Amino acid sequence: MFHWLEKNPFFFAVAVFVVIAFAGLIEILPNFAQASRPVIGTKPYTTLELAGRHVYIKNSCNACHSQLVRPFKSETDRYGHYSLSGEYAYDRPFLWGSKRTGPDLMRVGNYRTTDWHENHMKDPAAVVPGSIMPAYGWMFKNKADVDTAYAEQVTVNKVFKTPYNAELPMADGSKVKVALADSVEAARASALEEAKVIAADMKDQDVKDAVAKGEIPEIVALIAYLNSLK
């Protein structure tokens, strides 16, 4: 058999390719499957966080901000640990991005606060001198779409088996459970309670009044999402 292959270069090359391809699959696929699993500390989005993610996408924030820290020293020095594929296990769609008009936001929840985001979204240049980012004043008046966010939660739970209502391990050894409400009314109530915590750290009185009346401005949902990026 081997003598025959040696005398037929084409088939010898095919045989080498098959052997190397098979070996590569044996080596790569298990690692790929392992790397794509959720890393410890990754959890599904709450209803309010998901509503904020919808605001983020609707306003094309991902057109100027990536969410992918590359494995280079210049990247990790500025943004923190490089991104792992398992950190995106619950992201649909991915918002990796390639253009950085503004900084990467993959780990923005580690170093920015609710108060900072409020001031920045209202007047970016006042917070970051020279910033070309526009102000997003309408987010302080528009209402977040909690119902659509809840519908997405239900869908990903059924279709992709996203582990809502399961206790997931965190990096500090604790466990966290993100509950999936059993009705849209319950989801609204849960999102409102989360919104009250965020609004308490904000200064805009109109936002505070809106939340007190049971409404959730888009800015509150967006900040919930940004705070979850760690």
Measured CA to CA, the distance from residue 82 to residue 108 in angstroms comes to 13
Average pLDDT, the chain: 91
**What backbone torsions phi and psi does residue 167 show, to the nearest 5 degrees?**
-80, 120
Find the range with the poorest average confidence among 25-29, 39-43, 72-76, 94-98: 25-29
The single-letter code of the amino acid at 47 is T
Query: What pLDDT is recorded for position 36?
Result: 59
Measured CA to CA, the distance from residue 123 to residue 186 in angstroms comes to 34
Is residue 29's pLDDT more than 70? no
Query: What pLDDT is recorded for position 136?
Result: 97
Query: What pLDDT is recorded for position 37?
Result: 73
Are 52 and 152 spatial neighbours (Cβ–Cβ below 8 Å)?
no
Query: What pLDDT is recorded for position 121?
Result: 97
Is residue 135's pLDDT more than 90? yes
The pLDDT tens digits of the residues spanning 204-230 come to 999 999 999 999 999 999 999 999 999
Instruction: Find the mean pLDDT for residues 31-44.
Output: 73
Is residue 33's pLDDT more than 60? no
Q: What's the CA angle centered on 73, arms 87 and 230, to 5 degrees?
A: 30
Measured CA to CA, the distance from residue 157 to residue 8 in angstroms comes to 54
Provide the CA 113 distance to its chain's centre, in angstroms: 17
Give the distance between the most distant pair of CA atoms in the chain: 85
Query: What pLDDT is recorded for position 28?
Result: 67
Q: What's the residue count for the chain?
A: 230
Query: What pLDDT is recorded for position 108?
Result: 97
Query: What pLDDT is recorded for position 223?
Result: 98
State in Å, rounded, how far the first CA of the chain is from the last one.
57
Query: What pLDDT is recorded for position 162?
Result: 94
